[in-house]
Amino acid sequence: MEEQELPPESAQRPYSKNAHTEELVDHYWGSINYISSLIKASELKAGLILSFYGILLNFIFQSIDGIFDATSNNPMLYVLIGAWFFCTAASIFYCVRCFIPKIEGNYDKNIFFFGDVISKFGSIKEFAKTFYKVSVDEEQLFGQLGEQIYIISKIAAWKFRNVKRAIRLLALGLIVLFITASYYIILTVVL
């Protein structure tokens, strides 16, 4: 007897508009989770920069008395210290700014945004009904998820801009600190 060849698995099932809905939902949530992890990474980097400043400032403040005693009348040293202080303060400002919660509220209400959930959908029962209604309507569901991806991407970009500025100012501050230390050494050897 001759075996009959079965049609491919996709031909056995009738075509469904929703055949890839589950994969699309996973794709959208995967994108949201990825962008959320980028936000956490930016905050981690800002925290590491702040920790570095904590160690550096502790070291500097422990030895600051000796620096000012040896060179109390040198304006160039004060300019260099001022420039370093400005770079450090600005870098710390951008690090702290990265930790500030950023909420983008100038968009339509979204069932996936916690602020809208409690303020724009009425009571708990009304929200549950709206959530279900949006969840079964693919077009609305993917529209809401797509909007949320856009909004958190905007937040992640803002946080990374702050981290980038903090890192650049950290590098500039370290260069100024190196120049200041070199100038101080030259002053103490000459005097």
Each residue's pLDDT tens digit, 113-124: 888 898 889 999
Residue 12, in any domain of the structure:
no
Phi, psi of 34 (to 5 degrees): -65, -45
DSSP 14: P
Residue 8, in any domain of the structure:
no
Who wins on pLDDT, 31 or 68?
A: 31
Domain range holding 132? 31-190
* Structure tokens belonging to residue 122: 């009425």
Say what the pLDDT of residue 45 is: 96
Nearest to 47 by CA among 175, 171, 167: 167
Say what the pLDDT of residue 64 is: 74
Say what the pLDDT of residue 102 is: 82
Who wins on pLDDT, 156 or 188?
A: 156
Mean predicted lDDT score pLDDT of the chain: 85
Number of domains in the chain: 1
Nearest to 38 by CA among 161, 147, 142, 143: 161
Say what the pLDDT of residue 70 is: 57
Residue 45, in any domain of the structure:
yes
pLDDT for 75 beyond 90: no
Q: What single-letter amino acid sits at 85?
A: F
Say what the pLDDT of residue 13 is: 45
Who wins on pLDDT, 174 or 62?
A: 174
Residue 174 near residue 56, CB atoms below 8 Å: no
pTM score of the predicted model:
0.77
Residue 182, in any domain of the structure:
yes
Say what the pLDDT of residue 14 is: 43
Residue 11, in any domain of the structure:
no
Q: In whole angstroms, give the CA distance from residue 81 to residue 179.
A: 10
Task: Provide mean pLDDT across the span 161-185.
Answer: 94
Residue 180, in any domain of the structure:
yes
Q: Whats the size of the chain, residue-wise?
A: 191
Distances (CA, A) of 50 to 7, 20, 94, 108, 174: 62, 45, 10, 36, 14
Least confident of 9-18, 24-33, 35-44: 9-18
Residue 17, in any domain of the structure:
no
Residue 13, in any domain of the structure:
no
Q: In whole angstroms, give the CA distance from residue 9 to residue 3.
A: 17
